Amino acid sequence: MKLKGGKVKLSLDLTKLSEFFVQHVEKVVLAILGLVFVWFTYSAVKTERYQRVPQDLKTATESAQQRYTTSTWDEEDIEREQIAVADYANKAKQAANAIDAENYRPRQNWTALLFPHEQKRRAPAYLPVEELRAVGGFGAFRAKNRADPPIGRPWAVVTGAIPFGNQRAEFVRALGGVDATGELDPKYVAVALLREEVIGEATQVEKINGIRILAKDVDDVMKQCTVGEEILNPMFIIALDSKDNAMNELCNALPAFVGNRKWDSSVGHPKFPMPLPSATNDSSQSEDPKQPVEPTEPVAEQPKEAPTSDPNSPFGEEDVKPEAKPEAAAKEDAAATVVADNGYRLFRFFDFTVQPGKRYRYQVILRLINPNHGVDAKLLEDPALALKPHGDTPYSNITDFVSIPRGTELLAGPAKPGRSTTEAVAKVLLRQWSNKGGGEATQEVELLKGQVANFVALAAMLHKSDGKPEETTGEDFTTDTMLVDVSGGERISVLGKQETRPSEVLLLDPDGRLVVRSEMEDLPTYRSFMLSEEETIESDALGGKKSGTESNKR
């Protein structure tokens, strides 16, 4: 420090100052720590203590909880506090609704044509199913649940040829390749099979006045049955696109029979190759060749018509499905042979609602997705072609009538000739389809002339398809067949031996037709049933059981 002109002048020697700190750094640091400690101690002494204890916090929490659970809000409280009540349930429903795409559609056409198309898209013709036919029969199907008994059903199966290749060619012709990428394969979305009962002589009409057979009726039966082996090459099968994929309405699957019975070509169509080698030829008949079956002959193809709007279309709005599969995703069986694609696909539809003894005829109409639906009007001959989402084929040909077997039959047995004091008696074997386990019930009875063979059996034999005969009670044999006359039963000499003349019976069936049954013709089947029954009775007798064959007339 120096004095100059009466003023004090400070001068700092940085060298000495740095030497001071180097020599006394420990003391400076210690002094600073001491001051910090004194400051912490002073602050701790002056800080106000927290006066509450944990019990106070617990008490406050319980009080708040009680107030929350017991307090209520009324309309006045809501208005006073100006609280807005939100309807979250309604907001959730609104959030789940689909967004209207029209509100977000761009004003500008991003796919505008660089050059106008000279050829416009036209309305395609929709081609009907060809050569529709039908057959009927009885059968015992294997239940899906092995513990359940077989499922006995009468059925009619309707088959036809879908002109898939020709329909695709028609789309090519009508669309002319104009923005037709991916639209050339026909997409079938619904089936309407119509059925009409035939009473008396069938009249020739273009459209039957029948009821629609619902796919639900088929699905209800198929859900109970095991699916059997397909007899056709999968390349000839296409399917509708359904939400649950439970069944193929265009080509129903084949339920599996009980035992060794297989489906044959009657569930196919003449336009397709013969069944696969693993299938045998006995579908429309039972194991007995006498099972009545009346297959129909194919009807000539009708000329193709242009599509017309039918206000009485059998389709309902629920039949319109968003999309269809052009080809079924099925595995080709190892036994299937390589065959050429003829452009047709099989139509097959089961009718499990038929009644034995009745006659029916069928007609079908298919629905396809309209390939012009939603297309830009500039590409169409008529903008109205884009409005309808689907198109319906014309009605197919009408099948010849198909008779559903009654499931009952009378087999002629031995006869007793009439005497002066007694009438002639014919012994017959009643044979009837029984829903008890999917088999045939038999009962041997004696008939007089004029008697109708309707009986309630006290003890009949049930011949199941999957086991030996067993005794059943309460079987209602309803044949509605009357014995008109009987011959035979007399003793005759044959090559020096006394024999009994084979019988013949004249019957009046429920349709009013006279039918002759011969004991000689019916003997093999008659004997096979009686022998199996006798074996069962003998085995039951050895086990201490009794068997009866009594019956009561109705």
pLDDT, tens digit (0-9, with 9 covering 90-100), for 489-516: 888 888 888 888 999 999 998 878 899 9
Taking CA atoms, 15 is separated from 18, 20, 273, 279, 509, in Å, by 5, 9, 115, 116, 141
Alpha-carbon span 452 to 408, nearest angstrom? 13
Contacts of 39 (CB under 8 A, 6+ apart): none
Answer whether 237's CB lies under 8 Å from 248's CB.
Answer: yes
Neighbours of 235 (CB within 10 A): 18
**DSSP code per residue over 495-507:** TTEEEEPPPEEEE
pLDDT, tens digit (0-9, with 9 covering 90-100), for 6-55: 555 556 677 877 887 778 888 888 889 999 998 888 888 888 777 778 88
Q: Residue 449 is which amino acid?
A: K
Tell me, what's the pLDDT at 470? 81
Terminal-residue alpha carbon distance, the chain: 149
Q: 160-196 in b/e burial notation, b at 16+ Cβ within 10 A?
A: bbbbbebbeebbeebbbebbbeebbebbbbbbbbbbb
pLDDT band at 467 (very low <50, low <70, confident <90, very high): low
Q: Which tokens is 388 given?
A: 């309808």
pLDDT, tens digit (0-9, with 9 covering 90-100), for 105-157: 777 667 666 666 667 888 999 999 999 999 998 888 888 888 887 887 889 99
Tell me, what's the pLDDT at 354? 93
246 has a pLDDT exceeding 50: yes
Neighbours of 479 (CB within 10 A): 21
H or E segment to which residue 78 belongs: helix 75-81
Q: Which of 296, 272, 355, 281 has the alpha carbon at shortest distance from 132?
A: 296
Q: Which tokens is 446 given?
A: 């004696």
How many angstroms from the chain centroid is the CA of residue 350? 11
Q: Which tokens is 303 given?
A: 């000329």
Q: Which tokens is 191 given?
A: 């089936």
Using the 8-state DSSP alphabet, how is residue 251 labeled?
B
| Beta bridge pairs of residue 140 | 152
Answer whether 231's CB lies under 8 Å from 273's CB.
Answer: no
Alpha-carbon span 180 to 196, nearest angstrom? 40
411 has a pLDDT exceeding 70: yes
Tell me, what's the pLDDT at 133? 96
> C-alpha angle with apex 268: 363 to 189, nearest 5 degrees?
50
Where are the extended beta strands (E) located within 102-251? 130-141, 151-162, 188-197, 211-213
pLDDT, tens digit (0-9, with 9 covering 90-100), for 298-355: 334 444 443 444 555 565 544 444 444 444 444 444 344 466 888 899 999 999 999 8
Residue with tokens 């020599």: 23
H or E segment to which residue 413 belongs: strand 408-416
